[in-house]
Structure 1
Amino acid sequence: MSAHRKRSRPPTLVGRPSACNSGVTLFTLDDLPKDESLDTEPLSATPRRSKRAKYSASVKSESVAEVAEYVNCSPSRRTASVVKESGAASRCAGSSVASPSKQSVAKKKQALADLEMPHPAPPRWREVYDTIKDMRSRVVAPVDTMGAGAAQLGETDPKCQRFSTLVSLMLSSQTKDEVTSAAVKRLRQAVGGSLSVDAIRQADAKTISDAICKVGFWRRKTDYIKRTAQRLHDEFGSDVPMTEAELCSLPGVGPKMAILTLHVAWKVNAGVGVDVHVHRITNRLGWHNPPTKTPEETRSSLEAWLPDELRPTFTGLLVGFGQTICLPIGPCCESCQLSDGLCPSAQKPSAIKVRKGGSKIAEVTGPSLEIKFEEQDSKANITLEP
């Protein structure tokens, strides 16, 4: 060993009693004096660690402690950045877990801004609206005679009229108007002749299910109707509430049902009720830029520019148009007045397939096939027209 590494004396062990147990003796290395005659410090009992290593070890230990504390804490504490416990603040999770990042907050604000941004009125929309209204004036659609407005015709009490309208709309989801109207009539008869809140509360679930078993999701709707009747009895005086928020709080009632209930039952202009027909037709007409993907997006777009005075009757107008002319599959574009430049989705078939009796069964496009039979030689001439 070189002279500058030589020590004045070897390290010694010093024993001292433990503070926790007097019967235990702890041994430590005695402090080594520095040899001032040497230009280097003496070797310590333990190897020196650099400042970077010490910092990394402290950060690592702190991170491990935080993760262990985060895993062991309850789910409710994991969502909080700071939890007060026994009068002292203790960290439950890191800030990266407790609070969203700035990027996600910016995206959320941008999404809300895009939703609230006024949608411009589409060009020539008024001309399209008046044309649809003119066509609907000459056609009676199922919604006109069997819709939610027709359900209250069998009642005399205003409360029962409003409740029957709400029940009709609840049953109409995923169900045709013809089936819904028949179910409302059977339900009214099953509960004693009047569709009231008390009558539904007193009726058992099987009675309601047997009456509405033809509608879609009848088991689920049976539960919704029973629970809604109880809520109306307990919280709204056995009457239908007058706000969209209160209606949407009822079981099985969404924004479309709430808006239409206010339109029909209370004559309150609450917005635009959007169902599958309104969603489909307005997108076919190109009224949304970009095209909407959900009925709620369609409603936000329409309410940005559709005049208030047209909203109460807008849904029924387009629903009837979708039931009779602008069908989901095989729309009757040849008989629609919008096909002449007002509808960008209009189809112009080049040939029509006809049954033997003369009724149309389908529309086809492409080259037409014409078959002629000659009586002289009983041979068939087939001509393919481009």
Structure 2
Amino acid sequence: AWNLSASRAGSQIQGTPGIPRPSRRRKSLAIAYEAGQGDGAEPRRARWEPRDWREQLERIRQMRRSRDAPVDEMGVHKCYDSGAPPEVMRYQVLLALMLSSQTKDQVTSAAMLRLRRRGLTVDSVLQMDDETLGQIIYPVGFWRNKVKYIKQTTAILKQKYGGDIPSTVEELVQLPGVGPKMAHLAMHIAWDSVAGIAVDTHVHRISNRLQWVKKETKYPEETRVALEEWLPRDLWREINWLLVGFGQQTCLPVNPRCSQCLNQDICPAAKRL
């Protein structure tokens, strides 16, 4: 009888109102927020990236495997004396970049060779008169302006940097005749540092043709900013070399060779060109 009563009592207690049953714990949902944001922040938006860009990039790599474009054989990375002291080597890299603006690689390479034969250092350029310097670098594009910029920049390097070149993009672009593209390439080649993407006319043109920018850009610096918003940083160094050679051989400014391009079926511009 006692056991029966206890059993009934137990059943009454289990069903007694006012004693809550254990509730299941709800699983918390993990929501990604932008860095530095706390509670109540909006969920992180998916990063924009161009359609088919990975496949396009891989196909460009395939087309560039031979490494036989002018930039490969006569680019700035081939124009300096690799056996020179580090500060002299860096100075030669900067001068080659200044000469290369709106100038074919073949012409820049030849001008640098003539300069190096005379002993290309900060002191040798400062001792050279403008007429002689002009005769040596001719026929690079805008050679008269470049004579002026080279002499001004070289004097600044001597006075402010002890004959070396600045080690930041911000300081490099303050030098006469040095733009963002040159500054980023100087960081890549002279300092082995990647601070941003070097965008020249080839990178600018091809990025717009492939629609690697959200909206069409008019200037290379706009393109640089647009690319850096989505392109993984580990590709920033490679992308200049790839697209410059691709632009010299296949994706030409006028009459591009679309029929020879591996991207012709996934290039937004292929049907328009």
Q: Same fold (TM over 0.5)?
A: yes
Is 2:103 aligned against 1:175?
yes
2:261 paired residue number: 336
Is 2:133 aligned against 1:133?
no
SS in 2 for 1:326: coil
Contact 1:243–1:262 under 8 Å retained in 2: yes
1:300 paired residue number: 225
2:240 paired residue number: 315
**What whole-Å deviation, never above 9, does each CA across 1:47-92 have from its counterpart, x for those lacking one?**
xxxxxxxxxxxxxxxxxxxxxxxxxxxxxxxxxxxxxxxxxxxxxx
TM-score (norm 1): 0.57
TM-score (norm 2): 0.80
**Residue 145 (structure 1) aligned to one of 44, 59, 73:** 73
Contact 1:228–1:250 under 8 Å retained in 2: yes
**Residue 250 (structure 1) aligned to one of 137, 150, 175:** 175
Amino acid at match of 1:301: A
**What whole-Å deviation, never above 9, does each CA across 1:129-149 have from its counterpart, x for those lacking one?**
111011100351000111110
Contact 1:119–1:301 under 8 Å retained in 2: no
Deviation of 1:289 (Å): 2.1
Structure number having the greater strand percentage: 1
1:162 paired residue number: 90
Distance 1:128 1:275 in 2: 19
Deviation of 1:282 (Å): 0.7
**Residue 269 (structure 2) aligned to one of 333, 341, 345:** 345
**What whole-Å deviation, never above 9, does each CA across 1:168-206 have from its counterpart, x for those lacking one?**
1101111111111101111222xx3x3111111111111
Residues 1-386 of structure 1 correspond to what in structure 2 (within 5 A)? 120-153=48-81, 155-189=83-117, 192=118, 194-340=119-265, 342-347=266-271
- Misfit runs of 4+, over 3 Å: none
Deviation of 1:208 (Å): 0.7
**What whole-Å deviation, never above 9, does each CA across 1:103-162 have from its counterpart, x for those lacking one?**
xxxxxxxxxxxxxx9972112211111110111003510001111101124642211111
1:380 paired residue number: none
Amino acid at match of 1:137: R
Gaps of 5+ in 1: 1-116, 350-386
What is the aligned-residue identity percentage?
49
Distance 1:303 1:118 in 2: 16
Distance 1:220 1:303 in 2: 31
The 1:216/1:348 distance shift into structure 2, 3 A limit, reads closer
Distance 1:327 1:335 in 2: 12
Distance 1:329 1:257 in 2: 24
Distance 1:348 1:170 in 2: 34
SS in 1 for 2:79: helix
SS in 1 for 2:80: helix
Contact 2:98–2:177 under 8 Å retained in 1: yes
Q: Which has the higher contact order (CA 8 A, sep 6+)?
A: 2
Structure 1 or 2, whichever has the larger Rg, is 1
Contact 1:118–1:305 under 8 Å retained in 2: no
Alignment coverage as a number of residue pairs: 229
Deviation of 1:317 (Å): 0.9
Contact 1:151–1:168 under 8 Å retained in 2: yes
Amino acid at match of 1:171: L
The 1:336/1:235 distance shift into structure 2, 3 A limit, reads same
Distance 2:48 2:217 in 1: 14
Distance 2:124 2:267 in 1: 48
Contact 1:136–1:321 under 8 Å retained in 2: yes
- RMSD between aligned alpha carbons? 1.8
**What whole-Å deviation, never above 9, does each CA across 1:248-300 have from its counterpart, x for those lacking one?**
11000011110000001100111001110001001011111211111111001
Distance 1:296 1:188 in 2: 31
